[in-house]
Amino acid sequence: MELLLPYVTSPAVWITIVVLYTLRKSVVFVPQNRGYVIYTLGKYTKTLGAGLNFLVPYVQSIAADRNLKEQALEVNSQSAITKDNISLHIDGILFLKVTDAAAATNQITDYKMSVIQLAMTSMRNAIGSMELDDCFQNRDAINANILASMTEATTPWGVMVTRYEIKDISPPQSIKEDMEKQMTAEREKRSVELTAEGVKTAAITRAEGEKQARVLDAEAAKAEQVLAAEASKESQILNATGKAEAIRLVAVADAAALKMVGDEAKTESGKSAVTLTLAQDAIKAHQAIASESTVVLTDGKTGDNIANTVAQSIAIATSLKD
């Protein structure tokens, strides 16, 4: 200690210490996404950005260190009354970002607490303008209303609220029970409607199927009738064609026979054969008349005629045999 005492009491040592301390106070390293608010003799002068900065020692000082990153703040559960006088407990979360470190320091004492209180007030106002069902169905509208009102109010503070989200909405127990009953009734109603719709659809489908089946049956019967008619027509045409061909062939045969008879009748033997045939037919006719009646009336010359006819027939037959 006795050896160090001269150095401690030396003015040069103290001057060196003061100079080093002054240099240390004059050099400031600001981290990324931070803003240092600088006061000069108690008055705001500037805001230091990220990097190396210099201050005037003992004259300038860092009044505040502001985080410029986006931050998330919890909004604790609070009570709010809807337009139809239903008390709800609502909590949420908001996201904010300091855009002006100087304003967040000079214009407001505690910007975080102020933003949270403003969010709670804006939430109550938004809930108070809506009915219970709208609060559950239109959360996005509530969030948008709260965000709009907060953005306007926080701009002078150098704070920007980027997003607000409702985390949970809790109605009273009695309202929960009523809502559960309503949901159950809605589900049962929807189930009944779906069942009725299914029955209706099935009936329509069945009717359409039966109609289609009847149409197909009628078309099949019609096609069968057409085919039967076509077949009957073809059969009649074939029968008529066959009969016509048979008549033609008979006519051809009769014509050929008549021609042959005519040719033969031109000869002597043919004439005799014709005479014989006529005589035989006459005898058969007289026999038929006699067989149908026991009394035959003649003119008295019939017997001679018959005898002559028989004689001619015998003579012709004899000549044909020779």
Report the mean per-residue pLDDT for the chain. 80
Looking at residue 94, its pLDDT comes to 92
What's the CA gap between 85 and 90, in Å, rounded? 15
Supply the pLDDT for residue 273.
Answer: 65
Indicate whether this model's pTM tops 0.75: no
- Are the C-beta atoms of 100 and 68 separated by less than 8 Å? no
Q: How far apart are CA 313 and CA 322, in angstroms?
A: 14
DSSP 254-300: HHHHHHHHHHHHTSHHHHHHHHHHHHHHHHHHHHHHHHH-S-----S
- Determine contact, residues 86/172, Cβ cutoff 8 Å: yes
User: pLDDT tens digit string along 235-273?
Assistant: 888 888 888 888 888 778 777 776 776 666 666 666 666
**Whole-number Å distance between alpha carbons of 132 and 178:** 12
β-bridge mates for residue 48, sequence order: 36
Extents of the domains making up the chain = 5-66, 69-171, 194-264, 267-321
69-171: CATH superfamily: Band 7 domain (3.30.479.30)
pLDDT tens digit sequence for 177-215 = 777 788 888 888 888 888 888 888 888 988 888 888 888
Could you tell me which residue, 281 or 82, shows the higher pLDDT?
A: 82
What average pLDDT does this structure show over 61-69? 91
Structure confidence at residue 58 (pLDDT): 84
3-state secondary structure of 99: coil
Give the residue from 95, 117, 94, 113 showing the smallest Cα distance to 104: 113
More reliable by pLDDT, 231 or 98 = 98
Residue type, 253: A
Q: Give the tens place of pLDDT for each residue, 1-25.
A: 444 445 556 677 777 877 777 788 8
pLDDT at 72: 93
pLDDT at 321 over 50: no
Looking at residue 264, its pLDDT comes to: 65
